[in-house]
Structure 1
């Protein structure tokens, strides 16, 4: 049983990050804290996909003369890593837009608290 937990530590860490991100999104009232929770949630998803794509003892997909091409299990699949790199770039751009919108909201309404914003908007 202990081997199960220690052998899958990346998945447990991902699950903890996912729960922390969801907690920040659902239970925090400040928009900055919600956005930080969203960034943590995104990081957990990226970590999950990268940990799924990694293999012990595998190498990058450059042809090595010591490893035959027929040994597919000795090479890593670059597609998940490439997709997660794209997800990181999109996430950073989205966070930049979100923080820009929060600055505009704060300049207009004077608060970033969700309840106060809803009261001021109505």
Structure 2
């Protein structure tokens, strides 16, 4: 049974990751939810084998279940609910402003990347001009060193 649950956990994580890589906000939010459900299932699986309920004063032949993974899963569910509500509010506001839930490329990032590539091209061109000028100076002086270096 735990193998099936482990495969379900892996499936939830993989589908959530795939949805996170999409460009639509609704798919991103659903992907985060799937990853959260996979994490909760992983926490519950880490609790070990099923045991008896942890009642005080009752001693039996079976060991009681560990309540810590269950408490962590409940806390994670509450936090995931808050984060999902916040992301849905952000997605709704984005939809109000743009009329679409598609996340577009940032034009400012493209401009900065183009500026950086242009700047590196200019540096290469400056280096080529400097080396051409040095070669021209050496050929005009016949390979002799300039006067400042000879003294």
Moved over 2 A (4+): 63-66
Alignment partner of 1:65 out of 49, 58, 65: 58
In the alignment, structure 1 segments of 5+ residues that lack a partner are 1-5
Partner of residue 69 from structure 2, selected from 61, 73, 80: 80
Please give the alpha-carbon distance, in whole angstroms, between the structure 1 residues aligned to 2:58 and 2:103: 59
1:3 corresponds to which residue?
none
Structure 2: segments with no counterpart, 5+ residues: 111-151
Structure ranking higher on relative contact order (CA contacts 8 Å, 6+ apart): 1
1:38 corresponds to: 32
Aligned-partner SS, 1:103? helix
User: How many equivalent pairs are there?
Assistant: 110
How far 1:39 moved relative to its partner?
Answer: 0.2
Following superposition, the deviation at residue 65 of structure 1 comes to: 3.4
SS in 2 for 1:114: coil
Report the counterpart of residue 51 of structure 1 in structure 2.
45
**Which residue of structure 1 aligns with residue 7 of structure 2?**
12
Task: State the TM-score, normalizing by the size of structure 2.
Answer: 0.65
The CA deviation string for residues 28-53 of structure 1, in whole angstroms up to 9 with x for no partner, is 11001111011001100100110121
